[in-house]
């Protein structure tokens, strides 16, 4: 091999190796580190993580308060004056007897990381909004640059399985320069999906049927949901 070519290839190989290593090092929460039941909220926060936000709600129609914990990696938000990628996790604790809390759900791929907001957020940490509406848990997040993508997930507790089932998913992609927009709203209870397109001249809406396969909160991977919606909408 030509020496010059060999030297030029080495940095590229190093870059590829470094990127692969970085991907392998992506930290996900380990559910096996968490107790099934405990009296203190801090017992459900494993080493290397901390509570970014704590929401109190009523999710399973009893008189006991339930807790949603948004966890983030316990490391500095910046490193060498640059945003430091920190992964997130979502934990749901249902109130149990004798003042204890029961671990009901752990989601490691639903919430976007702190640097996953793209150019739209720049050096600002990308948010992952969580709220409750009656007994429904709602998660909303967005990311992108000129094309801004927004996702909204809705989950409801399913007594028969003691799990949180996905009941709705909304996806919108909007070109911030032209105002053009493509969106879909999926109802997992009825198996219906509504697709809307806006191009500044005429709005079009179509309705589709889909399989009513059950999807639970611990199975939701936001990146894969993103990619699937983009493919369906031909974006």
Residue 134 lies in a domain: yes
What pTM was computed for the model?
0.88
Nearest to 119 by CA among 143, 141, 140: 143
Q: What's the confidence (pLDDT) of residue 129?
A: 98
Low-confidence ranges of the chain (pLDDT < 50): 1, 3, 5-24
Angle at 26 between CA 152 and CA 150, to 5 degrees: 15
Residue 20 lies in a domain: no
How many CB atoms are closer than 10 A to CB 73? 20
Residue 98 lies in a domain: yes
Q: What's the confidence (pLDDT) of residue 11?
A: 42
Edge-to-edge strand ranges of the sheet holding 203-209: 129-133, 136-144, 147-158, 163-175, 181-187, 192-198, 203-209
pLDDT digits (tens, 9 = 90+) for 84-109: 999 999 999 999 988 899 999 999 99
Residue 140 lies in a domain: yes
Q: Helix (H, G, I), strand (E, B), or coil: what is residue 26?
A: coil
Q: What is the number of structural domains in the chain?
A: 1
Domain of 154, in residue numbers: 27-232
Q: What's the confidence (pLDDT) of residue 212?
A: 81
**Distance between alpha carbon 213 and the CA centroid of its chain, in Å?**
20
Residue 12 lies in a domain: no
pLDDT digits (tens, 9 = 90+) for 7-44: 444 344 333 433 433 444 788 999 999 999 999 999 99
Q: Are 174 and 155 in contact (CB under 8 A)?
A: no
Q: What's the confidence (pLDDT) of residue 8?
A: 44
Q: How many residues does the structure list for the chain?
A: 235
Residue 14 lies in a domain: no
Q: Are 97 and 103 in contact (CB under 8 A)?
A: no
């Amino acid at each position: 091999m030509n020496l010059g070519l060999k030297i030029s290839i080495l940095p590229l190989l190093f870059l590829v190796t470094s990127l692969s290593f970085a991907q392998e090092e992506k930290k996900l929460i380990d559910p096996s580190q968490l107790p099934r039941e405990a009296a203190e909220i801090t017992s459900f926060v494993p080493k290397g993580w901390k509570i970014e936000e704590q929401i109190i709600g009523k999710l399973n129609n009893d008189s006991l308060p339930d807790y949603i914990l948004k966890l983030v990696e316990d490391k500095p938000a910046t490193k060498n004056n640059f945003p430091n990628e920190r992964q997130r996790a979502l934990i749901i604790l249902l109130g149990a007897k004798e003042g204890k809390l029961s671990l009901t759900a752990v989601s490691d791929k639903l919430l976007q990381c702190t640097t996953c907001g793209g150019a739209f957020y720049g050096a600002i940490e990308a948010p992952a909004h969580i709220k409750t509406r009656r007994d429904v848990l709602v998660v909303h997040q967005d990311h992108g640059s000129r094309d801004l993508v927004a996702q909204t997930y809705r989950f409801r507790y399913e007594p028969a399985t003691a799990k949180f089932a996905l009941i709705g998913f909304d996806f919108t992609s909007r070109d911030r320069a032209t105002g053009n927009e493509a969106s879909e709203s999926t109802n997992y209870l009825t198996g219906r999906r509504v697709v809307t397109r806006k191009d500044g001249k005429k709005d079009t809406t179509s309705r589709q049927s889909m399989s009513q396969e059950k999807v639970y909160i611990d199975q939701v991977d936001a990146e894969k949901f993103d990619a699937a919606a983009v493919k369906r909408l031909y974006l």
